[in-house]
Amino acid sequence: MTAVSFRARAAAAAAHPRVRAAFRIFAERAAEIESDQIRLTLVSAPPFHEAERARHFAAVFRSAGFAPLFDAIGNVIIPYDDSGATPLIVGAHLDTVFPADTNLDLRRTGRVLHLPGISDNGAGLVALFWLFRAAKEAGLRFRRPVWAVANVGEEGKGNLRGIRHLFETTPWGPGACEFIAVDGAGIQRITNKGVGSRRFRIQMSGPGGHSWTDFGSPNPIHAMSEAIANFVRDRCAPEASFNVGLIRGGIGVNSIPTEATIDVDLRSVSLASIEGLHVRLARAMRESASLAGLQLQIESIGERPLGQTPEQSDLVQAALELHLLAHVVREHERRAAAVELDPPGGDLDVEQLAVLGQVAPGVRTR
């Protein structure tokens, strides 16, 4: 389908009376949307401890007339109408990067809300709920099953466990689905590339000792520091990154430590780039540990697959035209998302659902 065809279809979707009614709901009930966002964020949900927020989120959907379900790992699944094959799934993750003891005090600066997790992913969760609520109140119907999924385990060591479980168990039955992730604040960008990552915990260990009497004994911190310097000295390929995010070791200033540990994150949209970084990291660590006479342990603590939806696919082009129609994304920001096209008719298509996603509450979050 040509860009002109997509543009005409997007315009027709946006002009549909029931879609326009849903837009008015967003505009007229912005204060209610903001309150829901705050209430959801105030329920603590660190990785592996999302159950309370999941129950709260399910209750919010239930109060709006939906029938939420829980799967075995703790994801909340909400069919818009009925379950069925090859659904369009709109997902938002429940967990936040902040630990359970984080102080959740709300502060306002004009229209900006300051609250740990209010953006990632309080914004995504409230958008998911109001997308479905506005569609239902406006009387929208769709030609194929549409599901909301609030998934666990997106952040940190969660390692995408909720989404992995969803696609391993395929509760919609045989066949594929389309998936749109709503994550964080802002609607200026759509993303069609899934950045892959590998995360490692690396430990060097030795006998330790006293800084004076045992001077010259292998020092894990010295060796680890040298290995880090050797690893980061060379640049990485475009669209790749590395980060040594944590370093631990030692018990005192006058003690040679018995061990040093680092956590490392490698990322890229290219499998070859990740493989290259992995090889380079392992080599730097092995060489430094061997020269110092230390034991070395490299442990994988997370791996996230990479992938992309082709930019020229119908799904990506449809999503882009919808964003352009809403005057949100500039022409050169072709990154993407996925919706599916069907001929317009009495029931609405998933592209109408995507149109609703272009309107956000009038509150900025941080």
The DSSP bridge partners found for residue 202 are 262, 298
108 within 8 A of 114, measured Cβ to Cβ:
yes
Residue 37 and residue 364 in contact, taking contact as beta carbons nearer than 8 Å? no
Cβ neighbours, 10 Å, residue 332? 5
Tell me the average pLDDT across 180-195. 81
Task: Identify the weakest region by mean pLDDT among 65-69, 216-220, 348-352.
Answer: 348-352
Q: Write the pLDDT tens digit of every residue in 76-107.
A: 999 998 777 889 899 999 999 999 999 999 99
pLDDT at 260 over 50: yes
Q: Name beta bridge partners: 246.
A: 263
Q: Evaluate if residue 63 carries a pLDDT over 80.
A: yes
Which pLDDT score is estimated for 1?
61
User: For position 38, what pLDDT does the model report?
Assistant: 96
H or E stretch covering 93 = strand 88-93
Domain boundary residue among 255, 270, 304?
A: 304
Q: Looking at residue 55, which CATH number applies to its domain?
A: 3.40.630.10
Question: What pLDDT digit, counting tens, does each position of 7-18 carry?
Answer: 888 888 888 999
pLDDT band at 336 (very low <50, low <70, confident <90, very high): very low
Residue 258 has pLDDT above 90, yes or no: yes
Computed over every residue of the chain, the mean pLDDT equals: 86
Residues 283 and 339 in one domain: no
Position 176 scores a pLDDT of: 86
At residue 209, the 3 state secondary structure works out as strand
Give the residue from 263, 283, 304 where a domain finishes: 304
Report whether 89 contacts 69 (CB < 8 A). no
Count how many domains the chain has: 2
| Domain end (from 304, 319, 335) | 304
pLDDT grade for 4, boundaries at 50, 70 and 90: low
Closest CA to 5 of 274, 363, 344, 357: 344
> What CA–CA distance (Å, rounded) separates 245 from 224?
14
Q: Are 135 and 22 in contact (CB under 8 A)?
A: yes
Q: In this structure, what token pair is assigned to residue 66?
A: 């939906």
Mean pLDDT to the nearest integer, 53-73: 97
| 3-class secondary structure, 230 | helix
Share of the chain above pLDDT 70, in %: 87
Q: What is the pLDDT of residue 252?
A: 96
Residue 61: what pLDDT?
A: 98
Q: What are phi and psi of 255, to 5 degrees?
A: -120, 135
Task: Residue 270: give the domain boundaries.
Answer: 196-304
Res. 344 pLDDT band, cuts 50 70 90: very low
Regarding whether 287 and 181 lie in a shared domain, the answer is no
* Residues 74 and 223 occupy one common structural domain: no
Q: What is the pLDDT of residue 321?
A: 80
Kindly state whether residues 98 and 228 are assigned to the same domain: no
Q: Which pLDDT tens digit goes with each residue over 111-126?
A: 899 999 999 999 999 9
In this prediction, residue 115 carries a pLDDT of: 95
Q: Are residues 281 and 233 in the same domain?
A: yes
Same domain, 40 and 183: yes
Same domain, 166 and 80: yes
169 and 245 share one domain: no
* Beta strand pairing call for 112-114 and 364-365: parallel
Digit-coded pLDDT (tens) for 16-41: 999 999 989 999 999 999 999 999 99
**Local structure of residue 157 (DSSP, 8 states):** G
Token digits of residue 175: 């066949």
Instruction: Give the residue-averaged pLDDT of 150-162.
Output: 93
Same domain, 284 and 346: no
The verdict on 200 and 228 lying in the same domain is yes
> Any idea what the CATH number is for the domain that residue 235 is in?
3.30.70.360
Whether residues 171 and 280 fall in one domain: no
Cis peptide before 121 (omega within 30 of 0): yes
Q: Answer yes or no: do 169 and 260 share one domain.
A: no
pLDDT at 275: 95
What are 78's two structure tokens?
């909400």
Q: Is the pLDDT of residue 307 over 80?
A: yes
Q: Compute CA distances 321 → 111, 278, 291, 354, whole Å.
A: 29, 38, 57, 11
pLDDT at 365: 40
